[in-house]
Homo-oligomer: A and B are copies of this chain.
Amino acid sequence: MRIVALAGGIGGARFLRGLKDVVSPEDEITVIGNTGDDIHLFGLKVCPDLDTVMYTLGGGIHEEQGWGRADETWSIKAEMKEYGVGPEWFGLGDRDFATHLVRSQMLTAGYSLSQVTEALCVRWQPGVRLLPMSDDRVETHVRITDADGTRAIHFQEYWVRLHAAVDAEAIIPVGADTAKPAPGVLEAIAAADVILLPPSNPVVSIGTILAVPGIRQAVSQASAPVVGLSPIIGGAPVRGMADKVLAAVGVEATADAVALNYGGRAAQRAGSDEGGAGRAAGLLDGWLVDTADQDAVAAVEAAGIRCRAVPLLMTDAEATAAMARAALELAEQVRV
Q: Residues on A close to B: CB < 8 A?
A: 42-44, 72-73, 75-76, 78-80, 82-85, 93-95, 97-99, 101-102, 104-105, 108, 120, 122-123
List chain B residues, Cβ under 8 A from A99. Answer: 79, 83
* Complex: A79 Cα to B108 Cα, angstroms: 20
Nearest CB in chain B: distance from A166 CB, A: 28
- Evaluate contact between B97 and A80: CB separation under 8 angstroms: no
Grouping DSSP codes into helix (H, G, I), strand (E, B) and loop, the A interface class, with mixed when no group exceeds half, is helix
- A75 to B78 alpha-carbon distance, docked (Å): 14
A237 CB → nearest B CB, Å: 32
Closest B residue to A79 by beta carbon equals B98
23 contacts between A and B (CB under 8 A): A42-B102, A42-B105, A43-B101, A43-B108, A72-B75, A73-B73, A73-B94, A75-B75, A75-B95, A76-B95, A76-B98, A76-B101, A78-B95, A79-B94, A79-B99, A80-B98, A80-B101, A80-B102, A83-B98, A85-B105, A94-B94, A94-B97, A97-B101
Contact across chains for B104 and A76 when beta carbons are under 8 A apart: no
Give chain B residues whose Cβ lies under 8 Å from the Cβ of A97: 76, 94, 97, 101
Cα A60 to Cα B97 in complex, Å, equals: 22
Docked complex Cα distance between A78 and B123 (Å): 13
Using A43-B105, A43-B108 as known contacts, say yes or no to A98 and B75 having CB atoms under 8 A apart. yes
Name the residue of chain B whose CB is nearest to the CB of A98. Answer: B79
A80 surroundings in chain B (CB, below 8 A): 98, 101-102
Excluding A72-B75, A76-B97, A76-B98, 6 further A-B contacts by CB distance (< 8 Å) are A44-B101, A78-B95, A80-B102, A83-B102, A85-B102, A97-B97
Residue of B nearest to A77 (CB): B98
Q: A76 is contacted by which of B82, B94, B123 (Cβ under 8 Å)?
A: B94
Closest-by-CB residue of B relative to A99 is B79
A75 to B70, CA, bound (A): 12
